[in-house]
Amino acid sequence: MERSAIAPMPSLEIKRYTGIMDWLTTVDHKKIGLMYFWFTVTMGIVGGALAGLIRFQLATPGAVIETLQAAHLAGGPEPFSLFSNGGGIFGDQDRFNQMVTMHASVMIFFTIIPGFIAFMNYIVPLMVGARDMAFPKMNAFGFWLLIPSAMLMLSSFFVQGGAAASGWTTYPPLSILGHGTKPGQDMWVMGVHLAGVSSILAAINFIVTIASLKVMKWRDLPLFAWATLFVSIMALIATPVLAAAVTMVLLDRNFNTTFTIASQGGDPILYQHIFWFYSHPAVYIMILPGFGGISHVIAAFSRKRVFGYLGMVLATGSITALGFVVWAHHMFVVGMPTWMQYYFQVASLAIGVPTGIKVFSWLATMWGGTIRMTVSMMFACGFLCLFVLGGFGGLILALTAVDYTLNNTYFVVGHFHMVLVGGSVMLLFSMTYFWWPKMSGHFLSERLGKWVFWLMFIGVFIAFFAMHISGANGMARRIAVYYSDFRFSNYLTTVGYLMTFTSACLFFGDLIYSYRRPKITVDDPWQINDIQQSFEWATSCPPPVYNFAKVPPIPILEQIPSHDHKH
């Protein structure tokens, strides 16, 4: 509250750039947020295309083992396929593994995490009434670092031996193979280093921005800002550990250490523990910001205050805390002691409790509200359906005994795609439809948006529900071929993929076309200002470079009564 004595900058000394140089030198959180956004959209298409290659391989005749065997017995030509050791048109099955690895890496490191950072960057300073992030230049640096990171990972496809093929989890000894001759894995590791530095810097920046630049009290902080805060704490604590884990792989590959080489005293399972100590929190890094954003969407389009504000904050906090103590449920089958399996099973199931609190609070927010079914709201509802479904798959997998059977099958793949695509990606879409008018000054099409939604909702459901079926029947993940029993469910998944990808393309077109629609002239195009508790609707669309002529926009602050803490 002591933000007094704002000294004016001597305007004569300031050199302002224009045009392309303005974007290259920008330290404005809104421009950086938009750059994050477009980077994310581009990388989403790349990652989606990689997924497409995986899906098309699994729909070709050459992916069915019986067909392959029949062809071999008859001495006929190899059946058509994209990735096959007998001559696929895109290469051998190692290429398929590269596709799987890079699809995951691109989607995690360059699409979902930066996708949320785009909104955190653009919206959070506006929401808390700040003029910019606490460290604007560091913010720019954090964004630029993603570009060499993506360059490293994607260019590694074209070097000797191709890209990293050991899965995004980089488990040794697979990831140690080919050291000195196949640089793809080394490039992947250094790409992760750069993305990690970017993530840590962004996290520090968000924590300081929220803690220090907010104009409201903690108890009035919008839920999206709370979620940003918790996610940043997670990213700050977990990411250095990931850096340490992948550095071990890099050192073992190139500098003669033995951290992960079992024959020389190292411990590959310990690597897995260290890796998942980051990567389980990373799962929440990929969903919690969306949890925060969706609270605003549902409240806005139900014309009600979000139900159970304090419960929401505490639930987010407990997911953050629990997220750090459940990592080993990713590795039940490595042969850990029974007490550890019990502990990690119970702790993993416990995460269902705060998540349930959040889901019920969203439903209670809608209950009795005046619901407006905008596309943003449709995506929010679609998220609730698919996320809860995917979450139940997670409860099943958290049971150690069941996990022994389902481990490394498509059931796991189906589960995490249902919560990542049905969850995080739906949330990103919902948030885009909600905040794009603020970010660009133009609406996205509500009519086309309904097509985007239904195609995506049905496509995601078909694709990933079918994966659960394949997995429950025993289809192994990361394999380019399968027995004919799995043919139908794989075709279904490919059909679902096509629908989802079509929907994403429609969305992309609409995004570009939106700039040709009339400019929004009001501050609050959704007319929701009276029920939102944040400041981003109190400035023009898009906001001026200084966000608010006065800090804070006091008239809005007075419109918002403080929360009723009795309920």
Partner 1 sequence: MSEQLTTDVEHHEDPMSHVPPGSIWPLLATASLTIVPFGVVSVLGAFNATHWAIVGPFVFPAVGKAALILGGLGFVFFLMCWCNQIIREKTISHDVVAQQKDLQLFILLFLCGELMAFGAVFGYFYHQRLYVEGFGPAEGMEFGGPTVAYATFILLFSSVTCEFAHHALQSYKVGLAKALFSATILLGIAFLGFQGYEWGILIQHGFIPVGGSLTDSAVASFASCFYVGTGFHGLHVAIGLVMLFMVLMRLEFGHFRGRRHFAVLAASWYWHFVDIVWVLLFITVYVVR
Is 259 in contact with 271 (CB distance < 8 Å)? yes
> Can you tell me the distance from the alpha carbon of 49 to that of 67, in angstroms, rounded to the nearest whole number?
26
**Which of 255-263, 283-291, 444-452, 480-488 is the region at the interface with partner 1 (rule: CB under 8 A)?**
255-263
Tokens describing residue 389: 């479904």
Work out which of 37, 39, 119, 259 binds partner 1, going by CB under 8 A: 259
Work out which of 49, 70, 89, 159 binds partner 1, going by CB under 8 A: 159
What DSSP assignment string belongs to 126-165?
HHTT-SS-SSHHHHHHHHHHHHHHHHHHHHGGGSTT-S--
- Pattern 25-64, partner 1, x by CB under 8 A: xxxx------------------------------------
**Which of 127-135, 371-379, 452-460, 502-510 is the region at the interface with partner 1 (rule: CB under 8 A)?**
127-135
Q: Which amino acid is at 51?
A: A
Single out the residue of 38, 36, 20, 30 nearest to residue 514, CA to CA: 38
Work out which of 126, 152, 384, 444 binds partner 1, going by CB under 8 A: 152
Task: For the CB of residue 509, give the shortest distance to partner 1 in the complex, in Å.
Answer: 30
Is 458 in contact with 378 (CB distance < 8 Å)? no
* Beta-carbon contacts of residue 292 (< 8 Å; ≥ 6 apart): 222, 223, 224, 225, 226, 227, 228, 316
Using rule CB under 8 A, residue 267 touches partner 1: yes
Nearer to partner 1, 493 or 539 (CB): 539
**Which of 157-165, 298-306, 418-426, 442-450 is the region at the interface with partner 1 (rule: CB under 8 A)?**
157-165
**Which of 134-142, 330-338, 398-406, 419-427 is the region at the interface with partner 1 (rule: CB under 8 A)?**
134-142
Nearer to partner 1, 236 or 396 (CB): 236
Using rule CB under 8 A, residue 239 touches partner 1: yes
Nearer to partner 1, 137 or 519 (CB): 137
How many residues can be counted in the chain? 567
Using rule CB under 8 A, residue 183 touches partner 1: yes
Using rule CB under 8 A, residue 194 touches partner 1: yes
Using rule CB under 8 A, residue 17 touches partner 1: yes
Work out which of 89, 270, 346, 522 binds partner 1, going by CB under 8 A: 270
Nearer to partner 1, 246 or 467 (CB): 246
Is 441 in contact with 519 (CB distance < 8 Å)? yes
Task: For the CB of residue 175, give the shortest distance to partner 1 in the complex, in Å.
Answer: 15
**Which of 111-119, 158-166, 414-422, 505-513 is the region at the interface with partner 1 (rule: CB under 8 A)?**
158-166
Using rule CB under 8 A, residue 241 touches partner 1: yes
* Beta-carbon contacts of residue 63 (< 8 Å; ≥ 6 apart): 57, 81, 480, 481, 482, 490
Using rule CB under 8 A, residue 200 touches partner 1: yes
Using the Cα atoms of residue 464, residue 466, residue 467 and residue 472 in order, give the sign of their dihedral. Answer: positive
* Helices then strands, each counted (H, E), the chain: 20, 0
> Can you tell me the distance from the alpha carbon of 278 to that of 202, in angstroms, rounded to the nearest whole number?
16
Single out the residue of 426, 431, 447, 451 nearest to residue 517, CA to CA: 447
- Pattern 542-561, partner 1, x by CB under 8 A: --xxx-xxxxx-x--xx---
